[in-house]
Structure 1
């Protein structure tokens, strides 16, 4: 067998990886537009755009904590990665992969304080956690030396690709003086494309390059592993996108702005859409809450504690053939989104110069099976921004690469391009990360206000009869009157001098039957009844004297003592046990004989008649044979009857079983007839 047996085990662990977030340094720009919704859905409201249309944009990046290279040398002829890369192997190296492509997308205002965005997006994530980097390095060598034993360790890997259709809504939540708060939410439909996941627990193995074993020697591995995918690629290597492989997710975001330029003389500042109004901006969001299910998934559970001979190795085509001690589970495979917390502070230093501090934190367990996660990051980004041009220099530190990275980005209105690591990559000989983002869009900016509208009611001051108080155009910019102060304007109030709710056109609700339940909420407005029953008197459907609200069996007559349900009498128990005595089992087994099913079905009928009663099944044997085996046999037979009843629809919550072996005889074990009576399953009522 080739060395690929081992490489197959780590096919997931290629050290490709991604940054904690896409579009690093760009999304916090006030002119980022629809891209901003990907990391804080509240960003789209009160923006500098009327509409922003994304034609195409993408962000992709790589990082890891095992290999460092001079990025631009990698593309030169003759570059030897194995010799020239700076290696930092540990027992638990990490990596992650994220490519983010945004398709046709748009954001737009639907009202002065409300905005929507609709976007399409394709994403791919790969995470590798806790892999022994030295083992990976040795397996990749062409001249790999023999190992007596390699400690692969406990690792976790997941790769997931999917498409998103997202709808975002954002609104201004609070606006008073210098304080401004907005919030947003994104709901997204997820279409799964492909998924791989692998997890190992205390894996060790011994190997050499050619896998030629000395005579009479063996090859040994230990530990356990789980491997799964969105489809069975072993039988069909062609990717098949299943429309049923889908899921849902959502993002939440809040943004607070401090606007010190707001004064009594500048009360119009908050309503100017085309200019920035804050000195400090604080944003917080949680993204990628959700998961998706692959309906045609497959998962293999491997027990790696095994020993192989030379014949085993020669005859196996791959790791899947070599390890036969596995459990295969076909069906739904659930993959979890890389849920993350994002927080940033944006400081308007002077005019069009800003400084942004940002943190991205993964809030999910990176060791969880099939769980994507981000690499935690903090960044500091100075930038210059204007309507048609922005420049930014992100400086960041991420927990995987454990290096400070510096980048550069530019925006020119219809096009943007940038990288969070381009400067570091140009000067460092051991970069562990590289990224790039770019995009094309059509921005439609807010127009500059030509005339003042102090009260923001859409009527310019020169035409407004009440320029400092908002009012409708139908009333010349003045508010409508409300004599009774009930919130319903007099023009719409049917009872203008008596306060009443809006739903009743300003008039108070009536209560004709005086039962304390208003007619609008009263299901029986002409007959008094309690509030708990929507104003109707309580019924007694089965006329047993127990009201339906207290009746556990409202359609069957019963007794007050048994909460309106019929009581299980001694005669009923006798009837059940007469049936149970006819239940026969195979000799010395808990297998029910076929001829007993009729009696068991009779027991089901009786139990269904008393649907609120609970029963205990007690198994007994005669004294023949070993007492301990008889005890277990009695438990198994009682459990077998219980399982049969459950399979026939009796709730498992109503049944329990126990075995007593030879301890409770009801006849003498010295006679054939007595022993036959002692071999029984009894049914009792549990009070």
Structure 2
């Protein structure tokens, strides 16, 4: 390959390291702080009296353009290109979600309420409705032998990096002998490190290999927040913003005999959770937005793997400075968790973006539906998530929580068995759990 694989993350301008974090682990009733980021109401009547996260990390990648054969990749000493299979279409998509959970903790205030504080660093990148053949030709430096046409009517791309400090408060809202309803909210103080974005609603054209000419018409917009460097994200010069998560959990305890038994002491038969996460935005002052007039025919022989330089040298551009408001990747999460036996459960989840895929200045998670059986006890949980992902198709994985250590992936099994995978994720966590007696 002429350009590194990392450039798949963001077309044209971005080269950095879209949803879901800690895939499968957040449902565990002993997940502690990790359960809060999925649904803040998980903080109430927890199986832990306190939980202290030391460091955790999660990476999620989902696309419908390129597949990787992991067996061939790890067993081959040749170029990585031999392990790649491309699926170009007129509307390819890429999503990346990197989530690092820093020092965080939660504890019970009293019998009815709990509180927690979390710290996170997040990077998300989405690329939607990009012509895969155009992308492939740019990736190969216009060293191609085929002519092609393209028409980009709803092309958008957004990359955003930010940190957040969250304060979670939850309490019991309603309880009867066999029923429990809890609710919670996480208020977030956001610190934006910067963003970059690109879009076009009318870019079309064709490429002729024999003459090495690219003929285009329409406009292409590219913008960044002030002084944002996608090759070196700086978390020292940050911009403030605010956001919040909100969630509710219902539990059915058919075997709870009287009100003296705490709900956490009597395992539920059915649990239903609903939450909305990442409501909010970060406003960047004095961002730079460049609009390129793409109506021209240019010689691609001058292209040297720097797309922005190529655009600046060949197309008329108008640049303005204005404030940029980046929305968070707002998402709806629905969970139904059923206890098959004392320590055996099966859950069904849906993670749904509340952001339109072609909406500008906004990241979005990949829509995902998940079914997961698991074994769950105080010191050990083992789970096997199986999911359908918006762009990556079917995936199957495995995860383990053993006391303070958690590791897993929602796609590792299908990736190892498949000749070509389009979605991958992995997470790890290290914490200090303080279990109830």
TM-score, normalised to structure 1, is 0.58
Q: What corresponds to 1:262 in structure 2?
A: 256
Q: What corresponds to 1:618 in structure 2?
A: none
The counterpart of 1:338, out of the listed 325, 329, 333, is 329
* Pairing 1:248–2:242 present: yes
Q: CA deviation at 1:178?
A: 1.0
Counterpart CA distance in 1 for 2:200 and 2:117 is 40
Question: CA deviation digits over 1:594-636, x for unaligned, max 9?
Answer: xxxxxxxxxxxxxxxxxxxxxxxxxxxxxxxxxxxxxxxxxxx
Q: What corresponds to 1:228 in structure 2?
A: 223
Inter-CA distance 82–176: structure 2 relative to 1 (3 Å threshold)? same
Unaligned segments of structure 1, at least 5 residues: 214-218, 448-687
Greater Rg by CA: 1
Q: What corresponds to 2:283 in structure 1?
A: 293
Counterpart CA distance in 2 for 1:434 and 1:204 is 32
Question: CA deviation digits over 1:354-401, x for unaligned, max 9?
Answer: 001100000111211111001100001111111111100001111111
Question: CA deviation digits over 1:313-350, x for unaligned, max 9?
Answer: 99x99234235533212132111111000000111110
* Pairing 1:440–2:430 present: yes
8 A contact 1:312–1:322 mirrored in 2: no
Counterpart CA distance in 1 for 2:338 and 2:398 is 19
Inter-CA distance 311–133: structure 2 relative to 1 (3 Å threshold)? closer
Counterpart CA distance in 1 for 2:320 and 2:266 is 56
Q: What corresponds to 2:204 in structure 1?
A: 204
Q: What corresponds to 2:353 in structure 1?
A: 362
Q: What corresponds to 2:378 in structure 1?
A: 387
8 A contact 1:179–1:258 mirrored in 2: yes
Question: CA deviation digits over 1:170-198, x for unaligned, max 9?
Answer: 00000112111000000101111121100
TM-score, normalised to structure 2, is 0.90
* Pairing 1:11–2:12 present: yes
Unaligned segments of structure 2, at least 5 residues: none
8 A contact 1:302–1:323 mirrored in 2: no
Inter-CA distance 427–134: structure 2 relative to 1 (3 Å threshold)? same
Q: CA deviation at 1:86?
A: 3.1
Q: What corresponds to 2:94 in structure 1?
A: 95
Q: CA deviation at 1:204?
A: 2.5
Q: What corresponds to 2:403 in structure 1?
A: 413
Inter-CA distance 313–99: structure 2 relative to 1 (3 Å threshold)? closer
Inter-CA distance 261–289: structure 2 relative to 1 (3 Å threshold)? same
Q: Secondary structure at the match of 1:111?
A: coil
Counterpart CA distance in 2 for 1:23 and 1:203 is 37
After superposition, residues 488-527 of structure 1 pair within 5 angstroms as none
Inter-CA distance 202–120: structure 2 relative to 1 (3 Å threshold)? same
Q: CA deviation at 1:303?
A: 2.2
Counterpart CA distance in 1 for 2:410 and 2:345 is 17
Inter-CA distance 382–17: structure 2 relative to 1 (3 Å threshold)? farther
Inter-CA distance 148–25: structure 2 relative to 1 (3 Å threshold)? closer
Query: Alignment RMSD, CA only?
Result: 3.0
Inter-CA distance 279–310: structure 2 relative to 1 (3 Å threshold)? closer
- Relative contact order higher in (CA < 8 Å, ≥ 6 apart): 2
Structure with greater strand share of residues:
2
Inter-CA distance 242–322: structure 2 relative to 1 (3 Å threshold)? same
Counterpart CA distance in 1 for 2:434 and 2:228 is 47
After superposition, residues 114-193 of structure 1 pair within 5 angstroms as 114-141=113-140, 143-145=143-145, 147=147, 149-193=149-193
Q: What corresponds to 1:430 in structure 2?
A: 420
Counterpart CA distance in 1 for 2:335 and 2:228 is 42
8 A contact 1:17–1:63 mirrored in 2: no
8 A contact 1:104–1:119 mirrored in 2: yes
Q: What corresponds to 2:194 in structure 1?
A: 194
More moved, 20-29 vs 302-311: 302-311
